[in-house]
Amino acid sequence: MNQIRQFIFKHKAFLLSILLVGLTLIIDEAIFSDQKRRVNPDQTITDNLHQQLDKLERQLQQISDVAVVDLSRLFNRFASNEEFPYFIFEDGEVIYWSTNRFVPKYGTLDGTYIYKFLDLKSGQYIGN
């Protein structure tokens, strides 16, 4: 019995550490064992990307509606948008831009696609 007391007294910091680690694991399992509380990074990224693409689609629809109405090509009905800058091309030439931070070359955007990921020197973009 005396040896047990000496062992506990001598190694009390180590034993306390083991006890705290065990308690931490029990609490962690109790809190995070629920699948609803766990965060799946792939799913979170996918959900965020879908939300942004939905916003992009809505903006594209608004721009298309205005562009069809504004046949005079004055573009005074367009609003500047820094969140999703946009460019309107006609015959390979840019005829309207919502920002001057960056203007892509038409060849970069040429093609038929729903979304196109562009990795350029100026940054990464999604073309639509």
Residue 12: the pLDDT is 81
Which neighbouring-strand residues pair with 125? 118
Picking from 62, 68, 69, the residue whose alpha carbon sits closest to that of residue 86 is: 62
Q: Are the CB atoms for 39 and 68 separated by under 8 Å? A: no
Distance CA 103, CA 94 (A): 8
Whole-number pLDDT of residue 43: 83
Task: Tell me the Cα Rg of the chain.
Answer: 29
**Domain extent listing, the chain:** 2-32, 41-127
pLDDT in tens, 90-122: 888 888 777 777 778 888 888 888 888 888 887
Q: DSSP letter at 70?
A: -
